[in-house]
Amino acid sequence: MSSKESPETGPRPVSGKEEGGKTIRIYVMGRAYEVPEGLTILKALEYAGFRLTRGVGCRGGFCGACAVMYRMPGEYKLRTALACQTLARDGMHLVFIPYAPMKKPRYDIEKLRPDAGSVIAIFPEVTRCLACNACTKACPQGLQVMDAIQAIIRGDIAAAANLAFDCIGCGLCSIRCPAEIRHVYVFQLVRRLYGKYMLPKAKHVEERIKEIEAGKYDEEMEKLMKLSLEELKRLYMSRDIEKA
């Protein structure tokens, strides 16, 4: 999140009253802001004048960019949430966690096997899991994060991949993890291993790849490449959309 102040207004420590509705007071990195009741944390911050250039993405709970930590008055518990999915509440003290620094591994998936050894060779920290469950409690997706890590240790890559299927990569579990496990990357790897080595091959995809390689769509692609931006937009808007 950028707290850069806009040239005209800047963040508004006291605001909201002009709307005439009920307001609540939230604290962002220790500073108080008055905002209308009923907004998500993300909208409350924008209402307060923050320009969100980092720590915001899809606004729909899928991209994992708007992770926050907060504490309610009188509570010992440090809570985690996605700002776009969580209502701002009166007295909330919060801080944005737009990014959890962690080293990105490099590996060649062709040289790996779907087993514990392959994962642990790249992520040795997995074996340090204390089974404290702090990761599960931190997960805004409600995933059984600890169980996924334990499944890897047991060598059950399919279970780990399925348990971590809905991970959105927010990094909140890693921030709480005393074993300093890089869950986002660990889960990415187990899903890749599962998809590559354990799931049945998707025949229709293989066939489509062959068609592409044989040049079946080259002419159509060339036509598309020559269209203007406006023409592309029109084409996109008039496309057939699969019924839900």
Q: Which residues contact 173 (CB under 8 A, 6 or more apart)?
A: 134, 135, 136, 138, 139, 145, 181, 183
Nearest of 174, 165, 98 to residue 134 by alpha carbon: 174
Q: What is the pattern of x (binds ligand SF4, CB under 6 A) and - over residues 3-42? A: ----------------------------------------
User: Three-state SS across 144-204?
Assistant: CHHHHHHHHHHCCHHHHHHHCCCCCCCCHHHHHCCCCCCHHHHHHHHHHHHHHHHCCCCHH
> Least distance in Å: CB of 186 to ligand SF4?
9
* Token representation of residue 19: 């709307």
Binding string to ligand SF4 for residues 142 to 181, with x set by CB under 6 A, is what? Answer: -x-xx--x-----------------xxxxxxx--xxxx-x
Q: Shortest gap between Cβ of 242 and ligand SF4 (angstroms)?
A: 27
How many of the other CB atoms lie within 10 Å of CB of 179?
A: 16
- Is 118:110 a contact under the CB 8 Å cutoff? no
Closer residue to ligand SF4 in complex, CB, 24/67: 67
Q: In whole angstroms, what is the distance from residue 117 CA to residue 132 CA? A: 23
Q: Residue 77 is which amino acid?
A: K
Nearer to ligand SF4, 23 or 141 (CB): 141
Q: Which of residues 98-127 bind ligand SF4 (CB under 6 A)?
A: none
Q: What's the min distance (Å) between Cβ of 65 and ligand SF4?
A: 11
CB atoms within 10 A of CB 158: 15
Q: Rg of the Cα trace of the chain? A: 23
Q: How far is CA 191 from the centre of its chain?
A: 16
Pick the binder of ligand SF4 from 52, 65, 160, 184 (CB under 6 A): 184
Cα→Cα distances 152→140, 148, 193, 206, Å: 21, 6, 12, 29
Binding part of the chain for ligand SF4, among 25-33, 47-55, 108-116, 137-145 by CB under 6 A, reads 137-145
Nearer to ligand SF4, 73 or 195 (CB): 195
User: Shortest approach of ligand SF4 to residue 136 CB, angstroms?
Assistant: 7
> Interface residues for ligand SF4 in 219-238 (CB under 6 A)?
none
Rule CB under 6 A: which of 65-94 touch ligand SF4? none
The reply on whether position 56 binds ligand SF4 by CB under 6 A is: no
Q: How far is the CB of 97 from ligand SF4 (least distance, A)?
A: 10
**Is the Cβ of residue 65 or residue 112 nearer to ligand SF4 in the bound state?**
65
Residues that bind ligand SF4 (CB under 6 A): 64, 129-135, 138-139, 141, 143, 145-146, 149, 167-173, 176-179, 181, 183-184
